[in-house]
Chain A
């Protein structure tokens, strides 16, 4: 089998005495959609923070396409092709919708400040390309983020549209792997259903490899090639949705020991 795109090798992270991630091995292959599930505090978001360089692991290695990305600054990791969204939305609230997406092209553009001020050819070309890219990424969501919304500040968007804008912004960094942190959190059933389809489209049309944290089991069932269950920073199950959902250890982690016993 070909080399996995993202490879976590014996990864560990603790804060003081709290072991958040311990000896975790995860492989994500190109083109796959992998869901990470687990009860609150299982270490899912910490896992994302480790991959994107927000935290540095205590031990273990993270390899992207065979190359270690441990110790790189977050923006460099993003430039290598890892982009994420945040569980608690972190948009640039006071910037316009389009500027939010265009800002994320920073790592892919190179015109210096002086070139931009003098409007030299490279700066103009990059600006045009960023603009087109932003329109393309925003058009992914139909009419929702188009037209008059472009110039509105991000804070004027509804909650669901903010989630969409975060995804658009992440894809504007041209990632190879997209980390989505609870994309359906706080959405109503219709929107949740839409997100499920959207993730499918992201893989199909966008060609992204996707690692997603999700609590909504319908979403997980709908999108995942593979599901990984975490508890207390350890992998307790891995496999297809059916395999993981019926795994006694997973049921135990979510519902407690007695639940399995009563069954």
Chain B
């Protein structure tokens, strides 16, 4: 034993060059720009306080909102975001903690929804209480997670991804084709009335699913749903935080770093992998039951690969391995990308929000990525000046080149108010922008925009700074002329892709993730 008695010291003033060197990584991390400063502030706040504050704020939302249509829509957006937060938390167990690329995750979400629909709807006339159905469905899903992970437990990386993707696809095919099930041709003998027994409702899904009900009390208001989902998120978040700190959580992270060493250090890696998938499956099933009750139905297209990709985007954006990051990612993607870009909201009158999400997004990226502020100011000034000059040239040289209006809703055009005035005098929107014949032009502009963005990724220094100016302007132009009217479908995914590409370049560990080191 060494002569010094070890004296543990948690933190305190820097002692000597040794610690200074050791903490250089932290300092480098802190230096950077606005994102770095926000991160630093977040790091200094005590975690339980942040958690309590966030829960309190979320719980206040329904209280502060009145019961108008708009508020109901707001609450619905919040509830959907919370469901996605649950999903992101669950996916984070397999992907973030244990490092397993589980692409079958969406199936467990669907199993939760369909399980609840089978046991609490008019479909089979079964109306069990939620307190019975919820644990049952969650347990069955976790068990299925174990079973499905069993054959793939030895697989890693790409191989695991392909096998689990196959399970996810099977689930989708089963539910879309499940309206004509033939039980070995024995349907009649089994007391089923038709040769093609309808199990899942096929592409139409199962409608008239009960609201979550306990002892005859049914959660029918948006507020009740919001609180139920919030409670689920809080419980799951707390449980996963404790799980992450436990021996099992450490073992998950260990096998993520080095499976072989984990084995040599007494960890049963195969069992730990199964456990990670099963825990994720349980959380996903919980989210599925809530979603089915919220929508009062289970529909196959809510459980397809596209949704899976969106959940992955949430986890990656927030930072794989960080639970707070998963929730943050879920809110950013769900509120901004899925709801914010909706051309028209189902309830209320929120239209044309996508425009502000789009421009604010560009601004945030520029502020976060460009340092120092002088350079940022120069580029922003350049962007404004560039637009005004182009607008002036077009206005002088063409007749109606700048007379276009803004798309503010489906087939609805207006001057867009004061901010709209600014946009129209920055861009050069030709009149008759939205006539079918002129669209080829705008498609061409989109291609040029993509080419410019690709160019941005290869050039450096002042060339890149200069190139950012026309790129941003062209992005605005393409948005107004082409993307604004299609925000629900491809635009959404295009933007999501662009955001993730940008994130990979600027902050590969995600918003709240820790940078990972694979080989040193």
Could you list which residues of chain A lie within 8 angstroms of chain B, going by C-beta atoms? 52, 54, 73-75, 78-79, 83-84, 86, 90-95, 99-100, 102-109, 111, 113, 116-117, 119, 123, 126-127, 130, 135, 138-143, 146-150, 152-153, 155-156, 169-170, 173, 201, 205
Contact = CB atoms under 8 A, between A and B. Distances in A.
A130 B247 contact: yes
Nearest to B520: A155
A200 B516 CA distance: 36
Interface of B: 1-4, 6-12, 19, 22-23, 25, 239, 242-243, 245-251, 253-254, 256-258, 260-269, 275, 279, 514, 516-518, 520
Contact of B265 (A127, A138, A173, A201): A173
A99 B7 contact: no
A36 to B, nearest CB: 18
B243 A113 contact: yes
10 contacts: A73-B263, A75-B269, A91-B261, A103-B251, A113-B279, A116-B242, A116-B246, A147-B9, A169-B265, A173-B266
Nearest to A78: B266
A140 B6 CA distance: 9
Nearest first, the 6 A-B pairs at minimum CB distance are: A107-B266, A116-B246, A142-B2, A139-B6, A90-B261, A92-B257
Given A99-B253, A142-B6, A148-B9, A205 B269 contact: no
A75 B4 contact: no
B8 A116 contact: no
Contacts of B8: 135, 146-147, 150
A116 B265 contact: no
Contact of B261 (A86, A94, A138, A143): A86
A142 B4 contact: yes
B264 A94 contact: no
A162 B266 CA distance: 19
B266 A123 contact: no
Contacts of A155: 517, 520
A142 B6 CA distance: 6
B266 A92 contact: no
A169 B257 CA distance: 15
A92 B248 contact: no
B514 A94 contact: yes
A92 to B, nearest CB: 4
Q: Which of B243, B264, B520 has the most CB of A within 10 A?
A: B264
A259 B208 CA distance: 90
Contacts of B265: 75, 78, 83, 103-104, 106-107, 169-170, 173
B257 A106 contact: no
Contact of B250 (A52, A99, A141, A152): A99
Given A94-B517, A103-B262, A103-B265, A152 B248 contact: no
A139 B7 CA distance: 9
Q: Which of B243, B247, B518 has the most CB of A within 10 A?
A: B247
Contacts of A127: 246-247
A156 B520 CA distance: 9
Given A92-B257, A155-B520, A116 B266 contact: no
B332 to A, nearest CB: 24
Given A94-B516, A104-B265, 16 more contacts: A54-B260, A74-B264, A84-B264, A91-B261, A92-B262, A93-B518, A106-B247, A106-B250, A107-B266, A116-B243, A116-B245, A116-B247, A117-B246, A126-B247, A135-B8, A146-B6
Contact of B258 (A90, A116, A149): A90
Contact of A113 (B6, B246, B258, B266): B246
Nearest to A85: B264
A54 B267 contact: no
B258 A91 contact: yes
Contacts of A93: 257-258, 517-518, 520
A143 B6 CA distance: 6
A42 B234 CA distance: 57
